[in-house]
Structure 1
Amino acid sequence: MKIQLINGVSQGTMGIISRKIGEKKLVERILQNEFAAVGLCQGDVISILEASDIAEKTSDVVVTEISGVCPQHIICLAILGDITSVETSLAAIESRLMSK
């Protein structure tokens, strides 16, 4: 699994993310600059589902799938929130999934 943290996310990057998700209410929140950080996780479906569960249970974040086209069944997860919450979620994901 690949994991990346972006602090102080630019409006352009958030625009790209908003066009790649299907949840209209979440898109509105993204475009209103509600989130200061985004954590990105890319991996197979099972790992991404587990990462999503870990992130939401660890801190006050919003998770969503970023849609793309990949024949290898690799998907991407966006973890949105304030910087500390996203960092905490990513650390928990790395601790649990990268040690397997």
Structure 2
Amino acid sequence: MNIKFIDKISNGTLRILYRRVTDSNVKKIIEQNEVTTVGICDGNIADIIAASDIAEKSSNVIVSEVSGVCPQHIVCIAIFGNTAAVKTALNSIKNDLPKLKY
């Protein structure tokens, strides 16, 4: 899984995310300028679903799928929240995702 952390996100990056997010609740949060920090994760669908669950259980964040076109079937999620919450969520994904292997 590829994990990125963006603090003090730029308006241009927010516009890209806004166009790629289909969840209307997340779009409203972006429209209201409530987003300052975003975590981005991409990987296979099983890892992404598990990462989303880990993120929401570990911290006060909102997770949304980010649509895109990828021939390798890679899926991407954006994790929205304050800086500390996003860092906690990303650290939990990094530490807990490998433990979920069956």
**TM-score scaled by structure 1?**
0.94
The answer as to 2:91 corresponding to 1:91 is: yes
Following TM superposition, by how much is the alpha carbon of 1:17 offset from its aligned partner in structure 2, in angstroms? 0.1
RMSD: 1.2
The answer as to 2:23 corresponding to 1:19 is: no
Following TM superposition, by how much is the alpha carbon of 1:71 offset from its aligned partner in structure 2, in angstroms? 1.8
Amino acid at match of 1:78: A
Q: 1:64 and 1:56 mapped to 2: Cα distance?
A: 11
Matched pairs, number: 100
In structure 2, stretches of 5+ residues that fail to align are none
Following TM superposition, by how much is the alpha carbon of 1:98 offset from its aligned partner in structure 2, in angstroms? 4.7
Following TM superposition, by how much is the alpha carbon of 1:31 offset from its aligned partner in structure 2, in angstroms? 2.1
Per-residue deviation, residues 19-63 of structure 1 (Å, max 9, x unmatched): 001122321211221122000001000000000000000010000
The answer as to 2:37 corresponding to 1:42 is: no
Amino acid at match of 2:74: I
**TM-score scaled by structure 2?**
0.92
Following TM superposition, by how much is the alpha carbon of 1:72 offset from its aligned partner in structure 2, in angstroms? 1.4
In structure 1, stretches of 5+ residues that fail to align are none
